[in-house]
């Protein structure tokens, strides 16, 4: 056992054998990698997929510490070892890159489904923030980052990175800037949940979602996303590089995963790009 792994509690370590037992039949050939530390699990898997002619997929890579983990816009993901589940899932989707519109939204619905299987009595406390955050009590519980590794006219190899707060939210909040979304941790509702159980539920939900997405795209997940839209019917600010560019009522997302904003002078659509979203406080 490595030095870092040895100091983590049993609930904050990945038990490979237990994980394998909890995985669905579609994931029995999953390659499972767990490391103490790396720069970025996304970067690790992308480099490997680009270097190999026929990589054996799917692969999940978990790190207890990431020194260069990041989310959208290159923002660093801050997490102490054992306080967060940090992993990347490399897989092949039988769609070209042009047919992956809305994948991050479909992934977020899968994360939500996996969590709700763990916490059925508190499921109402979870919501989705466009384009790729999962909220607990309105605060950020998890973030998603999807990156392309390789593609053809008929398939895409992607790496889905997920950072998930398990505990330590007060310490995390103290490290974040005042402009950042406040953090939440799963310990609010499941203080003793094992990291292995969380990972198994998320992977099973991801596998089921990816099978449907390969065949049907975003369409089967649109209703679930809109039903769990944290800002539905609320006035929001749309920011670009910290500058306000738009205000209006968030009404949902369209068939391409674009956010719909009712400005009062018509509906504006937003692709994820470099914009961010805030509730408008008068």
Q: What is the pLDDT of residue 240?
A: 79
> In sequence order, what E strands does 138-186 have?
139-151, 156-165
In this model, does residue 147 exceed pLDDT 80?
A: yes
- Determine which helix (DSSP H) or strand (DSSP E) holds 236, and give its type and residue range: strand 235-240
CA–chain centroid gap for 50, Å, is 22
- Render pLDDT for 38-71 as a digit per residue (tens, 0 to 9): 999 999 999 999 998 888 899 999 999 988 755 5
Higher pLDDT, 205 or 120: 205
Q: What is the pLDDT of residue 150?
A: 92
Tokens of 63: 């790190």
Helix/strand/coil for 20: helix
- Render pLDDT for 174-218 as a digit per residue (tens, 0 to 9): 777 655 578 999 999 998 899 999 999 999 999 999 999 999 999
In this model, does residue 24 exceed pLDDT 60?
A: yes
Full-prediction pTM beyond 0.75?
yes
Q: What is the pLDDT of residue 70?
A: 53
Q: Residue range 74-95: average pLDDT? A: 83
Cα–Cα distance for residue pair 247/278, rounded to 1 Å: 10
CA–chain centroid gap for 230, Å, is 16
Neighbours of 238 (CB within 10 A): 21
- Render pLDDT for 232-275 as a digit per residue (tens, 0 to 9): 999 998 887 778 888 999 999 999 999 999 998 899 998 865 66
């Amino acid at each position: 056992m490595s030095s870092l792994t040895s100091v983590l509690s049993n609930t904050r370590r990945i038990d490979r054998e237990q994980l394998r037992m909890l995985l669905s039949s579609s994931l029995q050939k999953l390659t499972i990698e767990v490391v103490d530390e790396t720069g970025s699990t996304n970067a690790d898997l992308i480099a490997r997929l680009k270097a190999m002619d026929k990589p054996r997929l799917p692969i999940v890579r978990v790190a207890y510490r990431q020194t260069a983990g990041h989310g959208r816009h290159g923002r660093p993901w801050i997490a102490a070892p054992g306080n967060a589940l940090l992993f990347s899932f490399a897989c092949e989707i039988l769609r070209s890159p042009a047919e992956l519109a809305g994948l991050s939204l479909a992934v977020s619905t899968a994360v939500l489904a996996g969590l709700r299987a763990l916490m059925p009595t508190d499921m109402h406390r979870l919501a989705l923030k466009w384009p790729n955050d999962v909220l607990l009590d309105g605060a950020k519980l998890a973030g998603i980052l999807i990156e392309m590794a390789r593609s053809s006219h008929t398939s895409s190899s992607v790496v889905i990175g997920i950072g998930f707060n398990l505990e330590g939210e007060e310490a995390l909040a103290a490290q974040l800037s005042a402009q950042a979304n406040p953090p939440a941790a799963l310990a609010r509702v499941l203080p003793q949940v094992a990291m292995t159980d969380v990972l198994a539920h998320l992977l099973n939900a991801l596998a089921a979602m990816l099978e449907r997405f390969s065949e049907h795209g975003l369409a089967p997940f649109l209703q679930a996303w809109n039903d769990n839209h944290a800002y539905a019917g609320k006035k929001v600010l749309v920011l670009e590089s910290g500058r306000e560019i738009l205000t209006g009522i968030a009404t949902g997302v369209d068939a391409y995963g674009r956010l719909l904003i009712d400005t009062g002078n018509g509906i504006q659509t937003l692709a994820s790009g470099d914009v961010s979203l805030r509730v408008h406080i008068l």
